Amino acid sequence: MLDATAAATAVFREEWGRIMATLIRASGSFDVAEDALQDAFTSALAAWPVRGIPDNPAAWITAVAHRRMIDLARRTATSTTKAAAVAYEIERLNPTNEEEIDMSGWPDDRLRLMFTCCHPALNLDAQVGLCLRTLGGLSTSEIARAFLLPEATLAQRMVRAKRKIRDARIPYEIPSTERIPERLAAVQTVIYLIFNEGYLANTGSQLVRTDLCNEAIRLARMLVDLMPDAAENLGMLALMLLQNSRRDARTSPAGDLVTLEEQERSLWHQADIVEGLTLLERAGRMRDPGEYQLQAAIAAVHARAKDASKTDWAQIAALYAVLIRFNNSPVVRLNHAVAVAMSE
């Protein structure tokens, strides 16, 4: 039973977003896809301890979820057209034997889902919630706790967001080439907002929310996998990893915040630093600079310093001077002034 539960949990964490995106494409409904997927996981927990864990657990769950959607569509008289479309998809996969399904030919619909969740017609709270629910697999109660909202309030916002997608007929698609930059920026903003909510912990009793940081990093990795040629995707992931590498040094045993200059740098996670520096170098070779890359470059200067006294403040000041061209906010200007003062 434990092995079956562990296998189902692994599929849930690693494949939830991919399967959800596929089911939403087939059904055209967030709610139908979510209900079907939850039923499929329930079936897995009942069947796998008896029948054994299938060779391809994700394919098994996907096929069962498709069956659930077909059953629902057949019970709904107004859904005959969609039922035929869903039936075609599942018949193409030969669902009579879930263990023999080959998912290699399936399109990866997660990028479409990302752009749908972050459509400008939705408010930011709805974008964040939909991303964490549909791509991250977090429950409504988990998201509500993360942002210190009543569960009922968040649930209402999610319902309104899904209704708006349906009623406004927001397309489940990747935007046209000329609209990609502005829409991609919205996706990046949502992911980085999730990370900052965990890293800065502006609300709640914890100064660092590692669960939210990890979810944001997971979504950023997904975005890099789906759009590997976008330099700012690499820069954003590099920035998160470099910042998150300090997680164990940012609070004292008493739970107080420890400033960057006073942190015990031996506690910094070197694997995260190495990966972040590698991603930043890869982004730099694309010669398409952006705000996330510049912030990551600043974090990299701190990461390379053996201790606070070895920090290259002149380089940080120079990087902030460039960053101001992308983001001329008071915070960036203040940080630039501090870096100049430290360097002189």
Within-domain flag for 335: no
pLDDT computed for residue 100 by the predictor: 44
Residues 124 and 269 in one domain: yes
My answer on whether 250 and 118 are in the same domain is yes
- Both tokens of 181, joined, read 């930059």
What single-letter amino acid sits at 251?
T
**What pLDDT is stored for residue 204 in this prediction?**
44
Task: Examine the domain organization and report whether 266 and 187 are in the same domain.
Answer: yes
Query: Which residue is associated with the tokens 């902030």?
Result: 320
**One domain for residues 36 and 87:** yes
Task: Transcribe 302-339 into DSSP letters.
Answer: HHH-SSGGG--HHHHHHHHHHHHHH---HHHHHHHHHH
Specify whether 183 is located in the same domain as 231.
Answer: yes
**Domain housing 286:** 110-291
Same domain, 149 and 275: yes
Q: Is residue 341 part of a domain?
A: no
The pair of three-digit structure tokens given for residue 191, joined into one six-digit string? 């992911």
Helices (H), the chain: 2-27, 30-51, 57-75, 80-92, 110-117, 124-130, 140-146, 151-167, 180-199, 210-226, 231-244, 270-284, 291-304, 313-326, 330-343
Within this chain, do residues 137 and 76 fall inside the same structural domain, yes or no?
A: no
- Domain assignment present for 333: no
How many Cα atoms occupy the beta-carbon half-sphere of 41 within 13 Å?
A: 19
Entry pTM: 0.79
Q: Are residues 161 and 190 in the same domain?
A: yes
Residue 283 located in a structural domain: yes
pLDDT at position 96, please? 44
pLDDT in tens, the chain (344 residues): 558 888 898 888 888 988 999 999 888 889 999 999 999 999 999 999 999 999 899 999 999 998 898 888 777 755 555 555 555 454 544 444 554 445 554 557 888 899 999 998 898 888 988 998 898 888 888 888 877 789 999 999 999 999 999 899 898 888 888 888 878 998 999 999 889 888 875 444 556 678 788 889 999 999 999 899 999 999 999 999 999 999 999 988 888 889 999 999 999 999 999 999 999 999 999 999 999 999 999 999 999 999 999 999 999 999 999 999 999 999 999 999 999 999 98
Q: Let me know whether 136 and 267 are in one domain.
A: yes
Q: Token digits for 92? A: 């193409």
Residue after which a domain boundary falls, among 49, 70, 100 = 100
Q: Would you call 251 helix, strand, or coil by DSSP? A: strand
The whole-number pLDDT of residue 94 equals: 44
* Nearest CA-CA partner of 41 in 21, 15, 75: 15
Do 16 and 36 have their domain in common? yes
Burial 251-261 (b: 16+ CB within 10 A, else e): beeeeeeeeee
Instruction: State whether 114 and 66 are in the same domain.
Output: no
- Closest by CA to 24, choosing from 153, 144, 110, 123, is 110
Task: Decide if 234 is inside a domain.
Answer: yes
In the prediction, which pLDDT does 26 show?
86
The span from the CA of 192 to the CA of 194, in Å, is 5
Residues 66 and 134 in one domain: no
Q: What pLDDT is stored for residue 95 in this prediction?
A: 46
